[in-house]
């Protein structure tokens, strides 16, 4: 049962344009959401997060939007740069208990063309 889904395996955008990566989840107990970026042969790098009590969080070129009623979040990258080309993972943290384990989506490969 895939609780966190990234339905687009890949996305290609032109440099300077907006990249929008999407993520859907099913479990209403998730209380914290994160986006990670991963280059080949490296571990995931933390990008940005959002608490379930907010609907938007912005950090430089990166903005994450959360729509709790739709159980949907998205990552916007503006403007996109060739160095942003990587695999992006959406992750959700389960709110109950104290483990805070992360449940990841399958990832979306972003290619930014010069």
Partner 1 sequence: ETGVTQSPTHLIKTRGQQVTLRCSSRSGHNTVSWYQQALGQGPQFIFQYYREEENGRGNFPPRFSGLQFPNYSSELNVNALELDDSALYLCASSPRGAGGHSDTQYFGPGTRLTVL
Strand (E) or helix (H) holding 108:
strand 108-113
Per-residue tokens: 68: 């709790």
Q: Which is nearer to partner 1, 71 or 79 (CB)?
A: 71
Strands 62-67 and 56-59, how do they pair?
antiparallel
Shortest distance (Å) from residue 79 CB to partner 1: 26
Q: Which is nearer to partner 1, 15 or 62 (CB)?
A: 62
Residues 39-78 within binding reach of partner 1 (CB under 8 A) = 41-46, 49
- Interface segment toward partner 1; rule CB under 8 A; list 14-22, 62-70, 72-80, 93-101: 93-101
Rounded Cα distance, 44 and 9, in Å: 17
Choose, by CB under 8 A, the member of 36, 64, 75, 77 that binds partner 1: 36
Question: Is 91 a binder of partner 1 (CB under 8 A)?
Answer: yes
Per-residue tokens: 97: 């208990």
Shortest distance (Å) from residue 7 CB to partner 1: 13
Strands 108-113 and 10-14, how do they pair?
parallel
Measured CA to CA in angstroms, residue 59 lies from 6, 12, 69 at distances of 22, 22, 24
**Contact set with partner 1 (CB under 8 A):** 4, 6, 32, 34, 36, 41-46, 49, 89, 91, 93, 95, 97-107
């Amino acid at each position: 049962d895939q609780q966190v889904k990234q339905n687009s395996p890949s996305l290609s955008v032109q440099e300077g344009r907006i990249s929008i990566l999407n993520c859907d989840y099913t479990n209403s107990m998730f209380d914290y959401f994160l986006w990670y970026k991963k280059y080949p042969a490296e571990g995931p790098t933390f990008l940005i997060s959002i608490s379930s009590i907010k609907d938007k969080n912005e950090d430089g070129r990166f903005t994450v939007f959360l729509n709790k009623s739709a159980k949907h979040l998205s990552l916007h990258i503006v403007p996109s740069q060739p160095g942003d080309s990587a695999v992006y993972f959406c992750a959700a943290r389960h709110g109950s208990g104290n483990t805070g384990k992360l449940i990841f989506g399958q990832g979306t490969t972003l290619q930014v063309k010069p």
